[in-house]
């Protein structure tokens, strides 16, 4: 009887592994590196703010936003108007878990770059990062501009995001094979894959206390001004 | 032994089911409500309408479709008919969507609905409690403010092309959302000195009137008093969400006259 249960559990476990395998992120650190893209591992966000009650060492307050310049990998916590309204950053990581990512768009009254020179645009493509080889024409980028990428389907049905989130579990689950095509603050095309918000980029997090937010993401900026986003 | 096998099968089936997308949620239709109410032009208050009573603050409360014209819940199977006017969706069923067959992101897309929605902001009422986006209220808005906000709206203040059809109206400046009818206090900002366990993650209704154009084209206005069972004026963490209490007025003559008693 006991053995039966053990065999049963073992079989179940194997079935689970087999059936879930294709949904899992099999990427390892090494194969995010394609030789031309920039891969950022575990970039710390505002790790002192908390999404839930009573998490030790964390404060109950809104997350402080940070700003990131793709070229040069520069992170800034300077939320002054002078910095926000400048082309010194391309994407801002804001709100809960710092996971609401805005592009630097001077024309978006709800974005952090409002009133500045930023030319930022962002669209989503449901395709793996390496398969996104050309950016759409600028008219299409403008027509489908999401302005931000965060919680998928929020606040409106058409707000395509990069993770699923539940206010019950407070877990942010990244959406696989979704790539964002951007225009940087200076108007260069880029592609971006937001990979994880949890430290160490674990394949699946079930623990609310897993250290967060620590961002893993990769991107490629086409510096020659063309729409070519081909990466190996 | 028999039981072990059953358990084993169940576990194995669960494991196999795991290969499907985790985002697929089963569509459960509530039993059809067949009571007929002859809803005439007038003002109505509905208490504790059960939306998704199994909802926690999780993002995926089941959509709940309601007919202001007939005062009854409508099963999801009739989503592409003009039988429903408002859908309560999203977190705590807090996002209100309308039935518009031409709007790609309306649940009624492809159907005959001609609905729309618009949020009325009343500066005088806001001044009584509102301190700005993502900030705690000056004070929890009293019921009389809801009634005043509702009474102040005597007609549809905008033309039809300003009614929203693809967008829902829900939480006020929660993350990337804009003007809404409820304050979701994620951090417990309203009561900073209290134990966060008891005051974070509460959804406070706001005295803001929603204009609704029904699926059949009649105009209505509504205020939502509460999404908690029993509609407490001061909701707490122990309150049971998923029960909507609201007041609405509907004008059945096709005009925009909403100064109704």
Which band of pLDDT confidence, cut at 50, 70 and 90, is reported for residue B200? confident
Q: Which domain holds residue B212?
A: 39-56+114-251
Distance separating alpha carbons of residues B188 and B184, to the nearest angstrom: 9
Subunit contact A12:B56, Cβ cutoff 8 A? no
> Mean pLDDT over residues A209-222, rounded?
95
Q: Answer whether A197's CB lies under 8 Å from A214's CB.
A: yes
Tokens found for residue A3? 């053995």
In this structure, of A57-71, A89-103, A126-140, A172-186, the range with the lowest mean pLDDT score is A57-71
Residues of B in contact with A54 (CB under 8 A): 196-197
Q: What is the pLDDT of residue B195?
A: 83
Subunit contact A110:B176, Cβ cutoff 8 A? yes
The ipTM estimated for the assembled molecules is 0.78
In a domain, residue B181? The reply is yes
Q: Is the CB of residue B201 less than 8 Å away from at least one CB of chain A?
A: yes
> Mean pLDDT over residues A201-210, rounded?
86
Q: Chain A: residue nearest B106 by CA?
A: A157
pLDDT tens digits, A39-91: 999 999 999 887 766 666 677 788 999 999 999 999 999 999 999 999 999 99
In a domain, residue B260? The reply is no
> Mean pLDDT over residues B75-100, rounded?
93
Q: Which residue has the tokens 């710390």?
A: A44
Q: What is the pLDDT of residue B80?
A: 96
In this structure, of A111-115, B34-38, B77-81, the range with the lowest mean pLDDT score is B34-38
Reduced to 3 states (helix: H, G, I; strand: E, B; else coil), residue A35 is coil
Q: Number of A:B CB contacts under 8 A?
A: 110
Distance separating alpha carbons of residues A123 and A191, to the nearest angstrom: 10
pTM of the model: 0.81
Subunit contact B59:A151, Cβ cutoff 8 A? yes
Q: Is pLDDT at B220 greater than 80 in this prediction?
A: yes
Distance separating alpha carbons of residues B111 and B102, to the nearest angstrom: 8
Q: Is the CB of residue A145 less than 8 Å away from at least one CB of chain B?
A: no
Count of helix runs (H) and strand runs (E) in chain A: 4, 12
* Backbone Cα Rg of chain B: 20
Distance separating alpha carbons of residues B123 and B128, to the nearest angstrom: 9
> Mean pLDDT over residues A206-220, rounded?
92
In a domain, residue B19? The reply is no
Nearest beta carbon to residue A155 from set B16, B22, B176: B176
In a domain, residue B258? The reply is no
Distance separating alpha carbons of residues B205 and B236, to the nearest angstrom: 12
pLDDT tens digits, A12-23: 434 333 344 444
pLDDT tens digits, B21-75: 334 444 444 455 556 678 999 999 999 998 766 655 544 567 899 999 999 999 9
pLDDT tens digits, B133-153: 989 999 999 999 999 999 999
Which band of pLDDT confidence, cut at 50, 70 and 90, is reported for residue B224? very high
Go through chain A and tell me how many residues it has.
232
Q: Is pLDDT at A173 greater than 50 in this prediction?
A: yes
Q: Chain B: residue nearest A146 by CA?
A: B176
DSSP letter, residue A22: G
Subunit contact B200:A167, Cβ cutoff 8 A? no
Subunit contact A100:B91, Cβ cutoff 8 A? no
Q: What is the pLDDT of residue A14?
A: 40
pLDDT averaged over every residue in chain B:
86
Q: What is the pLDDT of residue A75?
A: 98
Q: How many domains does chain B have?
A: 1
Subunit contact B200:A53, Cβ cutoff 8 A? yes
In this structure, the number of other CB atoms found within 10 A of the CB of residue B225 comes to 21
Q: Is pLDDT at B11 greater than 70 in this prediction?
A: no
Q: Of all helices (H) and strands (E), which one includes residue B87?
A: strand B86-89
Residues of A in contact with B56 (CB under 8 A): 167-168
Q: What is the pLDDT of residue A166?
A: 74
Domain spans in chain A, listed from the N-terminal domain onward:
36-221
In this structure, of A106-115, B47-56, B118-127, B203-212, the range with the lowest mean pLDDT score is B47-56
Reduced to 3 states (helix: H, G, I; strand: E, B; else coil), residue B184 is strand
């Amino acid at each position: 009887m006991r053995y039966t249960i053990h065999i049963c559990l073992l079989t179940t476990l194997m079935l689970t592994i087999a059936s879930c395998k294709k949904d899992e992120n099999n990427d390892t650190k090494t194969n995010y590196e394609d030789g031309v893209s920039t891969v950022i591992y575990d970039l710390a966000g505002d790790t002192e703010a908390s999404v839930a009650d009573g998490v030790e060492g964390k404060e109950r307050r809104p997350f402080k936003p940070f700003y990131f310049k793709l070229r040069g990998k520069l992170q800034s916590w300077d939320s002054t108007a002078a910095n926000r309204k400048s082309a010194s950053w391309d994407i801002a990581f804001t709100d809960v878990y710092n996971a609401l990512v805005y592009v630097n768009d001077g024309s978006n009254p709800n974005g952090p770059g409002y009133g500045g020179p930023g030319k930022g645009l962002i669209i989503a493509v449901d395709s793996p990062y390496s398969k996104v080889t050309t950016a759409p024409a600028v008219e299409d980028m403008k027509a489908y501009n999401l302005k931000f990428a965060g919680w998928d389907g929020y606040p409106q049905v058409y707000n395509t995001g990069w993770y699923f989130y539940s206010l019950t579990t407070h877990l942010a689950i990244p959406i696989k094979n979704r790539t964002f095509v951007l225009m940087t603050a200076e108007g260069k095309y880029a592609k971006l894959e937001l990979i994880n918000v949890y430290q160490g980029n674990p394949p699946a997090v079930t623990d609310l206390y897993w250290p967060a937010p620590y961002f893993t993401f990769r991107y490629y900026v086409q510096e020659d001004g063309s729409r070519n986003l081909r990466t190996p | 032994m028999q039981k072990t096998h059953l358990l084993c099968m169940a576990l194995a089936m669960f494991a196999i089911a795991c290969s499907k997308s985790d985002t697929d949620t089963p569509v459960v239709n509530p039993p059809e409500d067949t009571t007929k109410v002859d809803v005439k032009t007038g003002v109505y208050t509905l208490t504790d309408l059960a939306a998704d009573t199994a909802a926690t603050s999780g993002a995926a409360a089941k959509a709940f479709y309601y007919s202001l014209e007939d005062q009854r819940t409508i099963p999801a199977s009739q989503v592409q008919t003009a039988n429903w006017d408002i859908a309560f969706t999203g977190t705590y069923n807090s996002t209100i969507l309308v039935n518009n067959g031409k709007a790609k992101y309306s649940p009624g897309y492809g159907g005959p609905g001609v609905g729309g929605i618009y949020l009325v902001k009343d500066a005088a009422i806001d001044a009584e409690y509102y301190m700005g986006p993502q900030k705690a209220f000056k004070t929890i808005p009293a019921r009389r403010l809801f009634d005043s906000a509702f009474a102040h709206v005597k007609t549809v203040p905008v033309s039809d092309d300003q009614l929203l059809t693809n967008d829902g109206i829900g939480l006020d400046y929660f993350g990337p959302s804009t003007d809404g009818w409820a304050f979701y206090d994620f951090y417990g900002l309203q009561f900073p000195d209290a134990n966060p366990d008891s005051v974070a993650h509460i959804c406070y209704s706001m005295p803001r009137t929603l204009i609704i154009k029904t699926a059949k084209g009649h105009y209505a206005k509504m205020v939502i008093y509460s999404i908690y069972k029993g509609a407490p004026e001061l909701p707490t963490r122990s309150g049971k969400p998923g029960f909507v209490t609201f007041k609405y007025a509907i004008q059945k003559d096709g005009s925009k006259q909403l100064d109704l008693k």
